[in-house]
Structure formats: structure tokens, C-alpha cells
A and B are shown apart, each in its own frame.
Chain A
């Protein structure tokens, strides 16, 4: 910007260049005002996005509060029976990435994808990824496209429902990929300003049946265990989707707040430059008039 100013203030000897210079000067002024306008519009957009996500966040948090006991209840059985993944020679792993379709929400999706990428870097030969939400697919498909088992999209526009979760669980179970151990990778909501990328283990029927503590449980047959595990997978996915949605909205709120703040700073600077440039143009025109009048006398 400083450069432009000095060129504007250069004395113009030749008339032809003078005209060109003047046009350019006017253009810069116009350019600045155009940029100023566009930044102002962006600020308006980010501000309203913040408002929208704040409203969505308060709903997501309310939902999450109701879903927490549900999710914790669903984990209890696995905690208490101390199910362990059997150290099979060739474990077939399944990772479920809980993200959404929508971006502009900080590092929510990147965090999940990064954790999965770390897992895949260790061993990508028998690990598959089930992507919930387009964002995790977009990040992972470049390097590990062949490890993606399936993608569920249209996630994140509306709050997740149990129906969504049971559809995903159904697809996970009917893909024909018999995983021996698995993990759900999701963002655990902590507070408005913080979330933690964490994992929840999931188990397949045979692994659970091998558990030693299962013997204390009465009247079990594999049918009951199978239905039970199917339902608990759906519950866990439902719970993690709720956690993810809440973290996403809170993170979007913060991201949009920061964006509005940055836009405000930019507007301030641009307004200053705009006014300076305008003043420079006026000064130059005055000089031209005065020197023209001086030449006549």
C-alpha cells in the first residue's frame, strides 16, 4: 500500500502519463472500496453463521445431556465384562470415523482424520475405515482411498437421530467385512471451548463370547448376544454422533467468532487505507490545479 501512495504522489511531468496515472489512482480507490465492501459482506455472513451455530449448539448440548446416560449405559457392559480384543494373529480392524459433511468448524474433522491416519500409518493392510460424513472421506481418500469401506453422507445438516445411527450400524454389520476389533473415532465434547478426539472400542460377537467374565451372565445364547451387540453398536454410534455434533457446533461457533473478529480488523485497516488514498488523490489534484494556475500567471 505504501508503494502505491508514493507513485501517486510522484510529480507528473507528461500529460499523457498523468491521465493514465490518474485513472490508475482512481481505480485503486475503487478497488479498495470494493474490497472493503466484500470484507464487510463476509463479516456479515460469518456473524450470522455464528448466530445460527450458537442456536444449533444450544440444542445439540441439550440433546447431548439427554444422550450421555444412554451412551454411558451402553458402554457399561463392555467395561464390566472387561472384554479384550483377542490377540489374533491377523486382527481385522475397523475404524468408524464420526464426522459430518460440513466444514468451517475448526479442526473438528481434521482431528478425527489425523488419528485415523496415524493408525493407518502403523498398519494399513488389514484396517478398514467406515466414514460417517463426507469430510473424513475427503481428507482420507487421497492417501488411503483403498482402505475406505463405505461412506455415509448427508450427515450434519440436521441433528443426528437414532434412525441414522441404526442405519449406519446396519451397514457396518452387512458390509461383509468381519472385523475382530474396532474403534469409533469421534470428538468428545467437553465445554464450549474444548473437545477431545477420543475412541470407543467396539467388539464383534466372537470376541465377546470368548470373554472370561461372560460366564457369570445367565441364560445367554449367541442369538441374544448377537442382537444385543447389534443394538449396542447402534447406541454407541448414536451417542458418538451426538458428541460429535455438539463439538462441531461449538467449534464452528468459535471459528466463526474468530473469523468475524479478523474481518473486523481487516475492515479497520482497509478503511484507513481507503481514507488515506482518497486524501492523497485530493492532494494531488490540488497540486495539479495550483501548479497549473501558477504556470498561467
Chain B
């Protein structure tokens, strides 16, 4: 009787170990923005993110790291090889030891939802704001807005 129980315990442990191993082979992506959640611990193949220390791609078993997103395009390749592109304004990327990845953005949208002409209008609006900015603070704010708008136009084109 006890032998049976032991065997069952062992089998269970083996199954759990196997699970653990496969767990670290997949990359679990949480990609959320303040306006919407795109992926919630979903398994994907690859993620490309733009960061202030340079753009980089993340595959499973990437070395753990932290990064700060800069305005640009996040590209997610799912397990079937389908590529989806999202525009992000700013945010953070966390790659953890267990191959879980958190991409948190302040705001993110699917690239197909962006209107190019609207984006251009925004860009010219902020460019004029930048040239007319009085003090340093307003200038810095306008410069950031221009940077985001530029990335938005580039992403939409």
C-alpha cells in the first residue's frame, strides 16, 4: 500500500518537474497599457521592444533585465509566427529569471488603428508649440511631445 502511494507521489513530482521545465522554455508575456490589456501571461515566441538603451528582441530564456520603453513600435511574434505591431508612448520592460516578460506601457494601440493624417497634424501642432515655448519646462515638454508624435507618424506610415 505504502509502495503504491510512494510511486504515485514520485510520479506526481516527476510530472511537476516536467511542468516546471516546460514552463521556463516558454516565454510568458504580459503586455498591458493603462487603456487596455493586450496579453495576459500569454505564451509567445518573440518580442521586439524599443528602449532608451537601444531596441532589442526578447526570446525565451533571455537574460533578466529591466529597460525603459521609448516611443516606438513593440512587435510581438506569437507561436504561429504571426506578427502584431503596437505603438507605445512610454513605459517599462521587465524580463524575469523565469522567462516571464512584462511590458507595461502608458498607452498602447494597435498600429492599424492609427490615422496617419491625424498623427501628422499632431506632429506639426507640437512642432509649433516647441518653437513658441517660453521657458525651459515648456520646451522640454514640447520636445517630448514632438518625439512621441514623430514616432507615431513613423509607426503609422
Contacts and interface: CB of A to CB of B under 8 A. Distances in A.
- Determine chain B's interface SS by DSSP, over half rule: strand
- Determine chain A's interface SS by DSSP, over half rule: helix
B63 interface: yes
A76 B100 contact: yes
Contacts of B98: 80
B108 to A, nearest CB: 11
B123 interface: no
A80 B37 contact: no
A73 B102 contact: yes
A67 B30 CA distance: 12
Contact of B67 (A73, A224, A232): A224
Given A216-B97, A217-B64, A232-B92, A74 B36 contact: no
Nearest to A71: B32
A218 B102 contact: no
A220 interface: yes
A166 B89 CA distance: 14
B75 interface: no
A235 interface: yes
Contacts of B65: 217-220
Interface residues of B, number: 29
Interface string B104-147: 10110000000000000000000000000000000000000000
B32 A77 contact: no
Nearest to B105: A70
B62 to A, nearest CB: 9
Interface in A222-238: 224-225, 227-228, 231-232, 235, 238
A220 B98 CA distance: 18
B53 A224 contact: yes
Nearest to B107: A162
B102 A77 contact: yes
Contacts of A73: 30, 32, 94, 102, 104
Given A69-B37, A225-B66, A231 B90 contact: yes
Contacts of A161: 34
Contacts of A232: 92, 104
A162 B34 contact: yes
B102 A76 contact: yes
Contacts of B53: 219, 224
Contacts of A220: 65-66
Interface in B14-58: 30, 32-37, 40-41, 52-53
A66 B94 CA distance: 19
A220 B52 CA distance: 12
Contact of A77 (B33, B68, B94): B94
9 contacts: A74-B102, A74-B104, A77-B94, A217-B66, A224-B68, A228-B67, A231-B90, A235-B34, A235-B92
Given A67-B34, A70-B32, A231-B104, 16 more contacts: A69-B40, A72-B30, A73-B30, A73-B94, A74-B104, A76-B30, A76-B102, A77-B96, A162-B106, A216-B63, A216-B97, A217-B63, A225-B66, A228-B92, A228-B94, A235-B104
